A and B are shown apart, each in its own frame.
Chain A
Amino acid sequence: MQEFIVTLEPFFRYAILGIVVFIVVRMLLSLFCKKTTDPIRGKLINTITNESISLRERETSIGRNKSCDIVLPFDTISRLHAVIAYRSKGFVIFDTFSKSGVKVNGKRIDGQALIHSGDEINIGGLTYRLSEGKYKFIKDKSSWLGAPSYMLTLALLFVLNIIIMLLNMYPEGQFSGAVVCVYLGFIALQWIYFLFSTYVLRLNNFELEMIAFVFCSLGLGVVGSMYPNAVLKQLLAVVLGVVGFCVILVILRYVESLRYLRWILAGCALGILALTLVIAEPTNGARNWLSLGGISIQPSELVKVAFVFVGAVTLDRLQSIRSLTSYIVFSVACVGFLFLMFDFGTALIFFFTFVLIAFMRSGDLKTLSIVCGVAALGAVAILILKPYVASRFSTYLHVWEYMDEGGYQQTRTLIYSASGGLFGLGLGNGELRNIFAAAEDLVFGVISEEFGLIISFLIPITYCIIAIWAVVNGKKAKSTFYTLAGVGAIGMIVFQSMLSIFGITDLLPLTGVTLPFISKGGTSIICCFCLLAFIKSIDTRSFANFKPELTPEDIPITVPKKVNKRRGVAGNENNS
């Protein structure tokens, strides 16, 4: 059997490369080329001009301000005049404290009113007739590029995992049943997820998940060949991650209830960080591991999810500095704890994510520059007061001069990455794997050496392309919360990849963080899948097939207590 595998090895190398590149490229094309499958839930028809406006969003804002979904540039219209929301019992119109009010069939409404097909709505003198749609979904008119065959993708994933399994059947020279089970389990997980999300969650697009599965396959391959005993744990983390992904995706459908969660999450996050700081034993210079009954977790990874969530929710109320304050306080606390744990890499990731989300929320460059300035001063102060911290970064840009000391990991990563060429030496044939933290911090080098530079470069490039997709599609998201959470999450992943890859290749100081979806580390994998759910929430199709089954009362949309007239843009963040 072993000989058989060795004979096929040259073929396997190109098969792995082909499958990985094909799936990733195919999925990215699909992300960009898809057309919206949003149903037209109803239409507003102008009674005089017969001009019709489609109602596609769950909430449509109407007003004079340019940031409204329907802009009516007349003096009689308030800046944010009204919001038409689609609820389970039908359309509801909310008067958002407009000056001239909203009339339905000639009667001025008080706050909100249910409206039906044929009702005439008067907004500041303009009259529209509502025509409800039949809730039919628009046929997906996307080109062939936008409609991948998930059966084919899953079949290719099957082949990929079987190949990696074959290559890994004899890790360290001995047959390992555990490794074989893990790969079969992983394949089963892909199918279960596919069926579950198709028939229960009613999803019909899986680009992001398929990319995650491909990268996880590579990661599991590396872990399986290096740590046959730890690979089961890694698979378990992937399973938990996928479960977390589904749970978050469901929770995110109930945008309105999220705000209650944020205080709980923020409290839990700070609590667990504080707990870690108190009881954790230092490992490799950082006190960021928590051992609970034999299971060790990295709390900072879990807090990442809460961090993005809290950041995205707090802000959905109003774009003012005041709303930013609590987030700043929360962020400073998190980053502070991480600094005290000497987990500088993660601290930096948190700080970047904070800046990104805070900027998107407020656009307040002044406050943010102050925060950044203070942070920079703090960092400098720490470097001066605690010189041993600075010494960790002393070999930066001088790794070749300290090849066997401080630059050991970086130079070996470069040497062995170059040894693999474009196509790699084959799984298990590398030398970098023998170096400390190879499967965690140096995993980019291991992937380069064993799977080749094409695949290793494809990973960060894929994250970047997803980030570009998130930015381009952010404005189409169903809610500001989704935009904030999705962009924040992918920003976090891209930033972490950057620290990880450039740190070990001496483009940036070495901070020792993991590469998302690839590195060994259970908590890290779980966190990545949870973040993926946020990113997926940007995709309008994620919720397209979802029919809200809410209570009769429905959850009211948020209406600002006061419209900030001076700035004139208040409330437009609210119409989710």
Chain B
Amino acid sequence: MKTTAKRSIALLLLVAMVLGGLGVLGYRFAVNGEKWATLRANEHLTENGSFVGAGNVLDRNGEVLAFTENGERNYNNSERIRKSTLHIVGDTEGYISSGVQTAYKSQLSGYSPLTGFYTLERYGKGNDVVLTIDSKVSAVAYDALKGRKGVVAAYNYKTGEILCSVSSPNYDIEDKPSAEDIEKNKDGKYDGLYLNRLIDGLYTPGSTFKVITSISALQNIPDIHSFQYKCTGEEVVDGVKVTCPKKHGEMDFHECFSSSCNCAFAVMSQEIGSLPLEQTARELGFGEVFLFGNKNTAASIIDLAAASGGDLAWASVGQYDTLVNPYHMLTLMGAVANKGDAVLPFAVESVVSPKGRVVEKAEPEVKSYITPVIADEISQMMREAVEDKYGDGNFENLSMCGKTGTAEVEDGKKPHSWFVGFSQNEQCPIAIVVVVENGGWGSSTALPVASKVMKEIYKSVS
């Protein structure tokens, strides 16, 4: 009898297996539970393929961008607003992975690992997501792009709130082009349709890179303020010819910047050296991945390790293998505008439960990039560029600082058109990035877009 009882210990093996298995299962629920629960197959959330379990998506002024009614997902009445906010609001199928309706799926559905979908079950809808986006400004930006591919993004560099983020090409979510059309992609009309170019885009920076080169010059060349250069329209550096569109003549450091003189920067770059320039760029966030609304941004790329003197000359004016992410560029503008400390841009202000409780609130993150002294000087240089070259009339009352860029791309295509800048008006602390793909001159294509958007923003705050 004792022996028999002793042998029953064999049963403990099974017990150990079961408890171990339950441990594994519990672990899987803890790790994957949210992912599983928010799958489209979950009929708590999805009805007839539509994400009906989601709460509302609202802009900063309470304008409803997306909502569920009678078991159907609906969007804002205005087609302009629908298109301009497409990549931020996102779709319900998950093609636009950075859109709020995908990236904030569990928040929108009110999912919590503790209570599951209880909120949804009890109140019939999940949480509302309040965006920092201003739908009116976005619509103006959408109009200004006139259907050209590119990105317009503006944010408050004091608070980090993104007011406008328009990515093109886009489509009307209430009237989506057929899958066939998208598949065919006639004339490249739908290139990167589902990408939010603000966070996924990588562009040759062109002259906007001179901001970074200038910062590096201020850091690495002790007598930069006595720098003088006479532009003859071309300069040979290390056997490579660097050209300017016209002869700029005799200039100091600030004038080189505002004239955007390639030749002067080519000479300056040889004084800085490729490693210090790359190091400055890395300190300024090249190679860094930012978290934007639960999704990673594409990291800006710079690699000057194998660059010759000629390569370095072109790199200093943004025409080498260097690629810049617009979100990163926007952050950098924020840093320059805000005395060296960038408040990282974000688009989701808060998540609010059906009972009105704030479940999640944006916590702005601040990163220090440059010293206030350098930030002030760069601001001043960019201010001079607007005053002397681009025309202050484009940005009335804004005390705008800016830099255009005309980034040469592959042969046979027009260059990408850039404008980066920010307003020094205390009432309107806004930084902006505009990229128009193959748009031509920065000053003639991107700048007018920025001008329209900045004016609209100024109107909304004054």
Beta-carbon contact of A464 and B42 below 8 Å: no
| Count of inter-chain pairs, beta carbons less than 8 A | 157
Beta-carbon contact of A498 and B41 below 8 Å: no
Q: Is A304 an interface residue (CB 8 A)?
A: no
Question: Considering the chains assembled together, what is the distance between the CA atoms of A403 and B40 in angstroms?
Answer: 11
Contacts of B15 in A (CB 8 A): 464, 467-468, 494
Q: Is B70 an interface residue (CB 8 A)?
A: no
Q: Which of A319, A470, A497 contacts B8 (CB 8 A)?
A: A470
Contact with B along A381-417 (1 / 0, CB 8 A): 0000000000000000000000110000001101111
Q: Which of A360, A453, A508, A576 contacts B29 (CB 8 A)?
A: A453
Beta-carbon contact of B5 and A475 below 8 Å: yes
Question: Considering the chains assembled together, what is the distance between the CA atoms of A453 and B6 in angstroms?
Answer: 34
- Nearest chain A CB to B364's CB is how many angstroms away? 30
Q: Which of A356, A431, A461 contacts B10 (CB 8 A)?
A: A356
Contacts of A569 in B (CB 8 A): 3
* Chain B minimum-CB-distance residue to A411: B41
Contacts of B111 in A (CB 8 A): 419
* Chain B minimum-CB-distance residue to A486: B8
Q: Which of B5, B18, B36 has the most CB of A within 10 A?
A: B5
Beta-carbon contact of A360 and B10 below 8 Å: yes
Q: Is B63 an interface residue (CB 8 A)?
A: no
Question: Considering the chains assembled together, what is the distance between the CA atoms of A422 and B7 in angstroms?
Answer: 37
Q: Is B246 an interface residue (CB 8 A)?
A: no
Residues B116-130 near A (CB distance < 8 A): 116-118, 121-122
Question: Considering the chains assembled together, what is the distance between the CA atoms of A502 and B32 in angstroms?
Answer: 16
Q: Is A311 an interface residue (CB 8 A)?
A: no
Beta-carbon contact of A483 and B1 below 8 Å: yes
Beta-carbon contact of A419 and B14 below 8 Å: no
Q: Is B48 an interface residue (CB 8 A)?
A: no
Question: Considering the chains assembled together, what is the distance between the CA atoms of A359 and B4 in angstroms?
Answer: 9
- Nearest chain B CB to A354's CB is how many angstroms away? 13
Q: Is B461 an interface residue (CB 8 A)?
A: no
Known: A475-B6, A480-B4, A572-B3. A470 touches B11 (CB 8 A): yes
Q: Is B359 an interface residue (CB 8 A)?
A: no
* Chain B minimum-CB-distance residue to A416: B42
* Chain A minimum-CB-distance residue to B35: A418
Beta-carbon contact of B21 and A507 below 8 Å: yes
Known: A415-B37, A429-B121. A494 touches B18 (CB 8 A): yes
Beta-carbon contact of B116 and A425 below 8 Å: yes
Q: What residues make up the interface of A, taking CB atoms closer than 8 Å to B?
A: 9-10, 67, 319, 352, 356, 359-361, 363, 403-404, 411-412, 414-426, 429, 431, 434, 449, 452-453, 457, 460-461, 463-464, 467-468, 470-471, 474-475, 477, 479-480, 483-484, 487, 490-491, 494-495, 497-498, 501-502, 505, 507-508, 569, 572-573, 575-576
List of 10 A-B pairs having minimum Cβ-Cβ separation, nearest first: A421-B116, A475-B5, A418-B33, A474-B5, A418-B37, A487-B8, A421-B115, A360-B7, A418-B36, A420-B116
A-B contact pairs, 15 of them (CB 8 A): A67-B2, A360-B4, A411-B41, A421-B113, A423-B115, A425-B117, A464-B19, A467-B11, A467-B15, A471-B5, A471-B8, A487-B11, A494-B18, A498-B17, A505-B25
Q: What residues make up the interface of B, taking CB atoms closer than 8 Å to A?
A: 1-12, 14-15, 17-19, 21-22, 24-26, 28-29, 32-34, 36-37, 39, 41-44, 111-118, 121-122
